Each structure stands twice: as C-alpha cells, then as structure tokens.
Amino acid sequence: MKNTHIQFLDLGVCDYKIALVRQEELLKQIVSIKLDRDHNVEALTPNFLLFVEHPAVYTLGKSGDEHNLLLNYIQLQDRKAAFYKTDRGGDITFHGPGQLVGYPILDLENFTIGLRQYIYSLEEVIIQTISMFGLSGTRDPGAAGVWLDEGTAKARKICAIGVKSSRSVTMHGFALNVNTDLSYFNDINPCGFSDKGVTSLQNELGVLIDFDHVKAVLRDKFAAIFGAVML
C-alpha cells in the first residue's frame, strides 16, 4: 500500500541547524519503518513537508567548492551570517529572511517516482507557483532549480534546489526567493555559477510580496503535482 498523504509543518523563522535536526529525525522515522517491514509488511510510511524561513546562512553541498564562498570568517561575522557544510546535492547557496524554504521528507516509493522525477516535480511546483504571479520559470538542463530567461545573457535563478535521498526518502529541498535581500548573493558564486544572476519575486515585480500568500499557493501546487493530500 502507498501513502500519499503529506503532513504539513510550518516552522516559521527557525535556525538552520534546528531545522536540519528536525529533518534528520523525520527521515530516520520513515527509514526505520521501511527497515521493519519484514515484521509488518502493511506498515505505511508517513510523508512530511516543512516550510521555514531561516536567519542568514550560507550552506555548501557535499560536492560544492568552498572557494565559492567569497567571505572569510570575520566577514561572515560582520554579515551576521552562519555557514554550514551539508550532505545535500548542489554547491553553495544562501538562505535568509524573505526566502521560502521547503523541506519535503517524502518516501518516494509512496509516489512511485525516482530521484530524477522528484527533482523535476519540485521544479514544476516552483514553475507553476511563480506563474501565478505572472512569471515564466524555466529549467537549466545542467543544473537543478528554476530560472528566468534561462539560456540568455539575462539568466537569473529564482529558486535553488538541492536534495538528499536515503533509501528513497528525501530531505533538504528548495529555496524560493520571495522578498529576499539579494545582496547576500554577492558574497558567493551562487550554486557554483559566477556568470549568472539571482532574483526574487519582489525584485521582478517591484513590490513587497505577501509571504503567506506565496506559502498557500506553493502548498497547493505541491499537493497537486505530487497527487497528494496535504494534512
């Protein structure tokens, strides 16, 4: 049996490390059920979607290059920003106020998809979300995430995606720039790119965006694209 219900948790403003521990706990909970199926073959695994807004923090993926962080320790302190090395895919990115971060902790077997389709579906969630605000998002065949004007000299990323999967259970996720202070991206080569820009909904539309409205739209799009019931 498959469980396509997703438990939604809005963590509000939350330190990156605290949210990371929460993700790890939920992933272990799901994996332990899967490992115990020899004793209980009918046990259903839960799925979770966490929304969070982090204080300023730079995170580096497991295959990322630390040189893409253009600040030293003292400069990080001056920026009032933290730095973490993580086990997700992708290179370096920034999380901070005004950015909607989503951490889906899903058993992909519940949705009968593999990791490649999962990432494609995450991109589709973002593409359909920003389309509700009049923006046309696209994919870069060589890098996960959602872009505006990809393939042109004006290419700029509006959403970064970096995930990890263990026994087909996901963690980490996406970061959609809503009202984000984009100056923080000047201190890194975002996602390893030194020749492409970064943008936000606010930057594109020229007005402060209703953050809660974006949450509601994205949550609905997530449920629709994954064929899930959001609890």
Query: Which residue numbers are catalytic?
Result: 191
Left, alpha or beta for 220 (phi > 0: left; psi -120 to 50: alpha)? alpha
Which candidate, 141, 159, 151, places its Cα nearest to that of 198? 159
* Class of residue 225 by CB neighbours under 10 A (exposed 0-12, middle 13-18, buried 19+): middle
Longest alpha-carbon distance in the chain: 57
Q: What are the distances in angstroms from CA 81 to CA 3, 95, 166, 202?
A: 39, 10, 29, 22
Give the span between the Cα atoms of 197 and 123, in whole angstroms.
18
Helix (H, G, I), strand (E, B) or coil at 150: coil
C-beta separation of 19 from 60 below 8 A:
no
> What radius of gyration, in Å, describes the C-alpha atoms of the chain?
17
The dihedral through the CA atoms of 159, 164, 165, 170 has a sign that is negative
